[in-house]
């Protein structure tokens, strides 16, 4: 568990929207450019790291109860995306780190994955 502020500091983030919500608790991390994977494998209360910057990123986050979005590799959302994110109360942040680096930094800080292994839990390498 981290707060959004801790994630913002760890990834040296710019905040595009939701500055007032930086004390939100973030329970899990997930990273994908495929929104169907986010819908299939994420859990409520996660931060989404993605290189996909469009309106569907925000819709997907709202539907899947993603608590905040971090755009990687210095990508910036346009005004339409920011407006929708404000309406849906989803903070938008951006980092210059690549997806790989951003995931690694948060993982090292103890933010766990949203991935639910279910019956395959024994096969996960960390078990």
Partner 1 sequence: MVTSYSQTFTIEGRDFSHAGRASTEIKSILKQLGIDSLTIRRVAIAAYEAEMNVVMYARRAVMKFEVTPRTINIVVDDEGAGIPDINLAMQEGYSTATSEMREMGFGAGMGLPNIKKNSDDLKIASTVSKGTRLEITIQIH
Give CA–CA dist 40/91, Å, rounded.
22
Identify residues 74-113 at the interface with partner 1 (CB under 8 A).
Answer: 88
Minimum CB distance to partner 1 smaller for 19 or for 117? 117
Based on the shown chain and the rule CB under 8 A, indicate whether residue 34 belongs to the binding site for partner 1: yes
Between vectors from CA 68 to CA 64 and to CA 70, what angle results, nearest 5°?
115
* Range in contact with partner 1 (rule: CB under 8 A) among 22-30, 33-41, 93-101, 119-127: 33-41
**The tokens of 121 are what?**
């839990």
What are the tokens at 75?
């990508």
Among 1, 3, 25, 39, interactor with partner 1 by CB under 8 A? 39
The C-alpha atoms of residue 59 and residue 72 are separated, in whole angstroms, by 18
Of the candidate residues 6, 14, 21, 59, the single one contacting partner 1 (CB under 8 A):
59
């Amino acid at each position: 568990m981290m707060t959004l502020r801790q994630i913002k500091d760890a990834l040296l983030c710019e905040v595009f929207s939701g500055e007032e919500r930086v004390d939100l608790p973030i329970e899990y991390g997930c990273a994908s450019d495929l929104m169907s994977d986010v819908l299939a494998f994420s859990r409520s209360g996660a931060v989404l790291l993605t290189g996909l910057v469009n309106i569907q990123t925000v819709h997907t986050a709202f539907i899947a109860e993603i608590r905040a979005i971090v755009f990687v590799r210095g990508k910036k959302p346009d005004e339409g995306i920011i407006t929708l994110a404000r309406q849906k109360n989803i903070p938008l942040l951006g980092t210059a780190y690549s997806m790989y680096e951003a995931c690694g930094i948060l993982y090292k800080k103890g933010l766990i994955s949203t991935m639910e292994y279910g019956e395959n839990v024994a096969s996960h390498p960390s078990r």
